[in-house]
Structure 1
Amino acid sequence: MGSGGRVVLVTGVSRDLGRRFARAVATDPAVDRVIGVDVVPPRGDIGHVSFIRADIRTPVIAKVIAKEDVDTVVHMSVIATPGSTGGRNTMKELNVIGTMQLLAACQKAPGLRHLIVKSTTTVYGASSRDPAMFTEEMEPRKAPRAGYGKDVAEIEGYVRGFARRRPDVRVTLLRAANVIGPRVTSPITSYFRLPVIPTVLGHDPRLQFLHEHDLQAVLRHAVTHDVAGTFNVAGDGVLMLSQAVRRLQRPSVKLPGMAVGNLGSVLRSARLADFSPEHVGLLTYGRGVDTTRMREVLGFHPSYTTAEAFADFGATLPATGGRSERVLTTLQRALPEPSVHTGADHG
């Protein structure tokens, strides 16, 4: 480790998970300094983190890495929703171009020793031909042609290329299942916060979750343990969507697959949830990943199972009350005729 502790650069610190991770890792005894970078300053307390305003899509990031003697980079700025970034093109650019530039900067940094990238199990896609459990070596049965899934596949390709060019750098790629928790705002948490939960008729997908606390813990574990490789990271066990909806005690409405796609645009325009093709795929076919390598090779054991992570998230949700009827009415107006007769399933 050279003299003193690690100097860690964290990307994506203006987002809540990135900010909280940077702040937490700064308290680790193995870490000397933490530099947080993003295009906008983080809202909220960043503790002992030095914030540097920098766009990872520009060469300035190489100067930061050199000037600050960074030996460990934690790349957390790959994002799943256009949201505040200004549409899909900006998102793709931040994700893909940002990662390319960051890796180019890392490649030029002789002092760099560790690269940790937060990826996602979305890289496996979701289709009717999927295996029960994806292991890290498996390819998606149906490669994503657009959107976040495609971004992640490209990003992982660049990371593998970097690992080949810099065999002296330890590269750890963490494929996190859907992160959930009381403070997480994401497409999946927005979906479960809907007053009426739409599900796909004839499908009951298996879901896996990673508690936000365990995401922080696995990233910290990856910074302080020199284990290279690609790891699926998820809480133990699976939860069927029907079980999840029942546990939230929210009404649900079963819609034909086609309608869920249309529903995406309805919910987006109503600013209720951001439904991408990946999420419709997940809510149709589900996804399971094998976490043997996480436990046996990486040596990480999540504190929350999938069911416990979901329960902790659900405990903070307010009751839906009268909004249900209004949302159902909006949905029914927007959708093709047959689905109107499905009614709410209070199961």
Structure 2
Amino acid sequence: MFFPAVASAMAERVGPALVDVPPHECPGTGSDQAGKAAACQGCPNQGLCSSAQPAGPDPAIEEIKEKMKTVKHKILVLSGKGGVGKSTFSAHLAHGLAEDENKQVAVLDIDICGPSIPKIMGLEGEQVHQSGSGWSPVYVEENLGVMSVGFLLSSPDDAVIWRGPKKNGMIKQFLRDVDWGEIDYLIVDTPPGTSDEHLSIVQYLGATCIDGAVIITTPQEVALQDVRKEINFCRKVKLPVIGVVENMSGFVCPKCKKESQIFPPTTGGAEMMCLTLNVPLLGKVPLDPQIGKSCDTGQSFFSEIPNSPATLSYRDIIQRIQNYCSHDRPQEERKP
């Protein structure tokens, strides 16, 4: 059973339902000749096409622009490859930023089919509440809120089996109908790849000045191949790249302090890729079994292991991201 608002998103339609195969010369439902061209004569869809309203700009874009006026910085966390620790990084970035009690931080999980943020943030089983001003985020701390489709499911094991338009409708609702309030940092955790969810979030936030994207990878070439695609995606949609983070970058034995390469960087790892593609390398986070444990238990790794090499690396990366966001850049450089 889905939350009522989810059912509403699922009910959205993307166009008229055609009843037969259109003729080869069909001008298409988006054309001003729809239902009027010579090829339309005798087509069973002629009346439906001619009465359809021409597609225009999505009115939700302006509504989202107005809603996002209270959000100072928007950061997308991307990865071309699954399993590289993108959601883990999103959660740690949020925890790190929220350590400053004067900053309001929020995480938006748009991984519709694999929402792991509720588990990682220790919020599994929580529910979204509706108020007069919209949905209320679920809070980890007073200054750290989270929104995810995982809060709308009756069980964490429920599968969300949706096509693209349904996912896009859900993302639209998250941006437009959530009462975000005054926020310093909105961190958007995305699914792997360069597909519907990524296009939707860039489209809907396009007029609101996105600070940029943090791209997560691991050292091996099989991950770097997909990350190169992600960087090219960012360039095509004019989304600034804040930098790349190399996750699982070696393992330091807690006893002997010897470092081992669990995922050998056969082609030079993220560092060589960043040099080749001219993008910043924000830092390298070593493997630490405690990171996985903290995610499973929904605890902040920073408070659990404050002096580990991974914690120190995270803090350095977060400081670089803060420096980037605080840099006074022209608005046109922040628009995709």
TM-score computed with the length of structure 2 as normaliser = 0.37
| Higher RCO structure, 1 or 2 (CA under 8 Å, sep 6+) | 2
TM-score computed with the length of structure 1 as normaliser = 0.36
Question: Which has more radius of gyration?
Answer: 2
